[in-house]
């Protein structure tokens, strides 16, 4: 069996192991694969493993031996799932592997917006504390999270992990979820999306990207928010209308934003959020802890083995 890894570098730049897959079959590992080279590299392959390298209808049609596509991520929009299904090709993803890491980043962003640790540490490194006439100084208001309200839109594994941390901080939690099949935990109150926008001091986005949620953060919903409120997006970039958010930040309509995702990644020159007022942007690192990537590779191998055993799991499409 031939297994081809199209874009292995981001999941494993060398600090973890592909051994869980390599014990199943020999792996042909490519750090990155341009679309134009995908068919040639995958000729004769029964299994493709991809993260962000597209597997289009045209690529699928050109690979008659292909039986399985494993996505080393939760999102799988880079695969033409309909074309795969027409060919009887199984496509799987890996849900849940990054929940602790993403939840931690949510609060890393929120705490930077409320405590400005990075900024103040930089001013100390530049010598400002030595020159200060007082024993301390701060350039921004230091904001306590305790007693404030965190709104969570999308209360799945990651949203629930964020909620637990928020409760531990002493925050009130409003959560919007499509279907509450069980009662929410203590400290979490169900709310509509508009209630979340209007009542929260910070909002964290964890819903899937669909036609209904694209540009969920837009001029109207931003207009519902408190001027002192923050937006955190570690979900999907297109959940946010970037021009509308930039305008709200630059005008002071809301207090700040922390983003780990953008609509186009890497971003193009001219993205309105890069350089916007009180806007923190990290380069899609929420999933990338070493622990999360070890879980990701193990789950990817487990998905493939389940398929080979005739009992596929985490099938999408």
Question: Which are the catalytic amino acids?
Answer: 236, 265, 284
The C-alpha atoms of residue 48 and residue 282 are separated, in whole angstroms, by 29
Cα–Cα separations (whole angstroms), residue 249 to 76, 130, 141, 193? 31, 33, 17, 20
Work out the number of other CB atoms within 10 angstroms of the CB of residue 295: 18
| Cβ pair 152, 102 in contact under 8 A | no
| Cβ pair 227, 207 in contact under 8 A | no
Phi then psi for residue 177, to 5 deg, are -140, 145
Cβ contacts of 3 within 8 Å, gap of 6 or more:
21, 24, 25, 26, 27, 28, 45, 46, 47, 48, 49, 304
- Which residue in 2, 132, 76 sits closest to 315, CA to CA? 76
| Cβ pair 149, 196 in contact under 8 A | no
| Cβ pair 39, 62 in contact under 8 A | yes
Dihedral (C-alpha) 194, 195, 199, 203: value to the nearest 10 degrees?
Answer: -60
Per-residue burial over 96-126, b if 16 or more Cβ lie within 10 Å, else e, is ebbbbbbbbbbbbbbbbbbbbeeebeebeee
Helix/strand/coil for 67:
coil
The C-alpha atoms of residue 211 and residue 202 are separated, in whole angstroms, by 24
End-to-end Cα separation, the chain, in angstroms: 24
DSSP tally for the chain: helices H, then strands E: 11, 12
């Amino acid at each position: 069996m031939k297994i081809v890894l199209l874009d292995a570098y981001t999941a494993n730049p060398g600090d973890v192991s592909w051994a869980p897959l390599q014990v199943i079959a020999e792996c042909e590992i490519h750090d990155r694969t341009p679309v134009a080279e995908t068919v040639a590299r995958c000729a004769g392959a029964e299994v493709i493993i991809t993260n962000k390298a597209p597997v289009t209808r045209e690529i699928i049609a050109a690979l008659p031996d292909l039986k399985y596509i494993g996505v080393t991520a939760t999102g799988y929009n880079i695969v033409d799932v309909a074309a795969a299904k027409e060919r009887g090709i199984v496509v799987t993803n890996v849900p849940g592997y990054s929940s602790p890491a993403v939840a931690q980043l949510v609060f890393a962003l929120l705490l930077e917006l409320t405590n400005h640790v990075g900024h103040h540490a930089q001013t100390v490194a530049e010598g400002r504390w030595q020159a200060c006439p007082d024993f301390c100084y701060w350039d921004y208001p230091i904001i306590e999270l305790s007693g404030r309200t965190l709104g969570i839109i999308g209360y799945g594994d990651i949203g629930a992990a964020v909620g637990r941390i928020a409760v531990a901080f002493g925050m009130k939690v409003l959560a919007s979820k499509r279907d509450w099949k069980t009662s929410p935990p203590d400290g979490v109150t169900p709310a509509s999306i508009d209630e979340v926008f209007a009542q929260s001091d910070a909002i964290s986005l964890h819903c899937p990207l669909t036609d209904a949620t694209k540009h969920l953060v837009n001029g109207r919903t931003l207009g519902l928010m408190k001027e002192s409120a923050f937006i955190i997006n570690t979900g999907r970039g297109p959940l946010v209308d970037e021009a509308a958010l930039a305008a709200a930040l630059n005008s002071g309509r809301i207090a700040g934003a922390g983003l780990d995702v953008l609509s186009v990644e890497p971003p193009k020159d001219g993205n309105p959020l890069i350089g916007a007022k009180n806007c923190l942007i990290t380069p899609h690192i929420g999933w990338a802890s070493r622990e999360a990537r070890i879980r990701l590779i193990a789950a990817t191998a487990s998905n493939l083995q389940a398929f080979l055993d005739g009992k596929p799991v985490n099938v999408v499409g």
